[in-house]
Amino acid sequence: MEAARIILLLVPLCFLKAEDTTAINPCCYYPCQNKGVCVNVGKEGYECDCTRTGYYGVNCTSPFFWSRLHRFLKPSPSFVHHVLTHYQWFWDILSSISFINDSLMRFVLTARSNLIPSPPTYNSDYNYLSWEGYANVSYFTRLLPPIPKDCPTPTGTQGYKKLPDAKQLAEEFLLRRKFIPDPQGTNLMFAFFAQHFTHQFFRTDFNKGPGFTKALGHGVDLTHIYGDSLERQHHLRLFKDGKLKYQVVNGEVFPPTVKDTPIEMKYPKPLPEEKRLAFGHDLFGLIPGLMMYATIWLREHNRVCDILKEEHPTWSDEQLFQTTRLILTGETIKIVIEDYVQHLSGYYFKLTFQPEILFNEPFQYRNRIAVEFNHLYHWHPLMPDSFIIKGHEFPYDHFLFNTEILLDFGLEALVEAFSKQRAGRIGGGKNIHKNILHVTTGVIEHGRQLRLQPFNEYRKAFGLTPYKSFQELTGETEVAAKLEKLYGHIDAMEFYPALILEAPYENAIFGESMVEMGAPFSLKGLMGNPICSPDYWKPSTFGGKTGFDIVNTATIEKLVCLNVKKCPYVAFHVPDDVDNDGEREKREPSTEL
């Protein structure tokens, strides 16, 4: 059936000379299946390179025996998801048997990570392998090459010659009418963690274009805490006992002001200088949730420095600082895998951070951030209609750039409030607040500038079955009919809008594609960190057993509670006694502190 479909797609090529003097690039039809690579031959021909795909034939559609067997035995992603999110008793038993749990975790890590090319392949200026695509780290890498520029439609050959207006698309299909809470109970503590954590490696350099990044580390390097340059780092450091600069307000430690730490921050001009806090990332003065996490990590850094100083009194300021940074990197990865990803997945299978389980596997400890991962991670539906802190309701215009919320309410109050306020569901559409819809519109427009391949091509790249209709994608009829009218064909559906509009799994935060595409990028990036390699992953890297224990016992709850006077409720999900229908108590809005 697949081969017949490809032949039908290519039939028009036979008549091009009779109808038009300009031949269509045959690679615009995406003829090469199963990760085969399309190469132009002559003026109108093409070849599919099927090397190491497990398939052969003109379009790489004929499987070898082992590929046929693997395809037959491989369960569908929806079946696997169902098993992992049900039968808790079964997973509790497996989790108690360490070697079985370790074997399953090893399989998860390798199976997911192997979907991401390493070394990197393409970038946004080269749709073929090149040294520039490999070596120039100022680019985001690409999983799939850009759509050829000479294709008859913006998405290849399917659909119309003009894509729907991005602003209209966002307003009609993505704009929130009524807040839709996440059925998994995800809270704002999770939402702000996602934003804070990913801003260390999702840093588009818009001066160069949406295909470029300012985050040259391409992974978990904590530049959002320590700055993305040595100069910025030095401004943030105290240069005593390895610590970072800070100020004390009402007896509590907070980030310093830009007056005491002369670094560039993006604040509105009317904000007084004494209210401008200095952070590793120049945008973290935007939202109190980002300020909260920056404060937590500042306190954690200085707390770990005190522990190391006591254990190693002869160490220099530099060694204390550098070792503490490695410890916080390990803490971050452990929290992301065992708390953050664990919650997001909804799995009963227990995810664990154990780098040593990969030491006998062919695994590369280097990562490059893909532009598709950057786009995929725009989870704006998480944000609520307003923000509730100790009975005060803050609309967006009173929440943004309001450093007083952090300084006056304090860290414990913000953690408690954000842990108990429900976040929105990401998948399914119509759940992005009007105040941030323009960011979503920008993502759609950037995807077009980058010539991202259609959504179904990415489905195939991750081993998923392409959708046959808009109704299959969205799970309903009205939105599907409108999308078909705008796009003309399901194979013309764009990458990011499709991810957000895809029907979510039952009682889940988003759908199949976000899980199957996001997890490989995430796990490869986390486990590809150098601290996870055999030469780094040992106690001496972290200052000995004490520092190694800090990494190996890290949790989001410990991170907070070891850095506040009174431990609040802290988790990535709302507590069971909080109303989970998304409704909140009616109250008069108050913005006074």
Residues designated as active site? 199, 377
Other beta carbons within 10 Å of 183: 18
Q: What is the DSSP string of 107-148?
A: HHHHHHHTTS-SS--BBTTBSS--HHHHH-TTB-BBSSPPPP
> In terms of C-beta density within 10 A (0-12 exposed, 13-18 middle, 19 or more buried), how is residue 405 classed?
buried
**What SS3 class is residue 482?**
helix
C-beta separation of 224 from 196 below 8 A: yes
Please choose, from the candidates 178, 172, 145, 197, the residue with its C-alpha nearest in 3D space to the C-alpha of residue 37: 145
List the alpha helices (DSSP H) in 49-205: 65-73, 77-84, 88-95, 98-113, 131-135, 166-173, 188-198
Please choose, from the candidates 336, 397, 345, the residue with its C-alpha nearest in 3D space to the C-alpha of residue 559: 336
**What SS3 class is residue 257?**
strand
Residues 6+ apart with CB under 8 A from 447: 375, 494, 495, 496
CA distance 395 to 278: 24
∠ CA 546-549-552, nearest 5°, is 160
Length of the chain: 593
CA distance 399 to 259: 23
**Residue that has been written with the tokens 């260390």 in this structure:** 200
C-beta separation of 450 from 204 below 8 A: no
Please choose, from the candidates 197, 506, 547, the residue with its C-alpha nearest in 3D space to the C-alpha of residue 340: 197
CA distance 593 to 590: 9
CA distance 525 to 520: 8
